Amino acid sequence: MPKFKAVIREQEDHKTKDGTYDIKIRVTHNHKTRYIGTGYYVLPEQFSDSGEVINHDNAAHYNIQIRNRLNLYDKAVTDLGMKIHAMDMKTLVTHLRGLDPQGRDTDFLFLADKNARHLHAGGRVSYAKSIEQTISEIKAFSGPFLAFRDITPEYLERFQMHLRSKKKSVNTAGIHLRNIRMIYNKAIDAGKADLSQYPFRRFKIKTAPSRDRDLDIEDIRKIKKANLKLKAQARARDLFMLSFYLCGINFKDMLHAQKKDIIRGRLEISRIKTGQPLSIKIEPEAQEIIDRYPGKEFVLGILEEKLQAASKGRKTITYKDVTDQTNRNLKNIADGLVIPERLSTYHARHTWSSIAFNECEASEEIIALALGHASQRRVTAGYIRKKYDQVDRVNRKVIDLLLA
């Protein structure tokens, strides 16, 4: 049967700059030995031969956590039963790390990291990175461990104040707090956290009005007419204008649209994020840009090129590469045109909506339908078709106003 003991390895290559060593759990199985780090560091004289921390300010806490880790591994072996005899060392260590690589059965940061890895595997890279940023902020504020019982309304208030002291906006702080709430809810569902201690009953996440992302129509005219000599900037401008001409279509939806989605001169898709339907008439101004970047299967060949060039095992999703590159070039275009906004692909969507509402007197219902915000359950297919006719008329008005 496997045996476990807390040890430090005093070889020079395990020594940190401050002279401490990581306390490791030594795993002995089938006459082989492997080590799993705990994340606790001590000086050699602060660690006894019996595997306990001594003469250290956090000795009691460290010893409790190490004993918990040893008990967790002993229980894991017991739960495996006869299966343990067929396990080699690598499989066993992988199994133990999978249970909890930090030895924390109800630690918030462990479950948050596990959720981020799950999001990465599901292709939700942006959301995963947001969770990872929240983890980093918590570690900077609280250290490497955070028990769910310690996440109180008072803790959340202090954490929010910490973020604000770092010049984070109210809404940025709100993103981190909503990430904490999401992980906490998942922990309750998994039986890892106590519903009776749920802190978000008394703590309310603050929000502030978002900075406007709509431009003046004159700014759009500047972007459209700009004499751009750099190919990358010209392409960024074309993609921005195409999004605008297609009723402010979301950039991800636009890049992933396929030729089979074009039916009788309309782009007929479901939004990737929400599954809501979109039906957009392709006006001549949009078709001109589409013809400039033809794809084989996709409406635009840009994403196809990225997919073909991407190496195996690459984690970054390629549409985001295109978006990031486009945004960098749009910022440079805005700087050259003296447009005060930090121009991005979002501005096409927000500006189309603002012009449609303020200048063309479109209703919020029609704008919501154009953007893919309307609920499919609220209207029949025939009614939707009539409403899309109104979307077409509004979009033509917006484009004509731009060209005036």
Q: Are 342 and 334 in contact (CB under 8 A)?
A: yes
With cut-offs at 50, 70 and 90, classify the pLDDT of residue 381.
very low
Which token pair is 60?
């009691």
pLDDT per residue over 239-269, tens digit each?
A: 999 999 999 999 999 999 999 999 999 999 9
In contact, 249 and 352? CB cutoff 8 Å = no
Q: Is the dihedral of CA 55, 57, 59, 60 positive or negative?
A: positive
23 three-state secondary structure:
strand
* Domain 217-403, CATH: 1.10.443.10
Task: Write the pLDDT tens digit of every residue in 59-74.
Answer: 999 999 899 889 888 8
Indicate the pTM of the whole model.
Answer: 0.55
Give the C-alpha separation, 321 to 323, whole Å.
Answer: 5
Domain ranges of the chain: 3-99, 108-201, 217-403
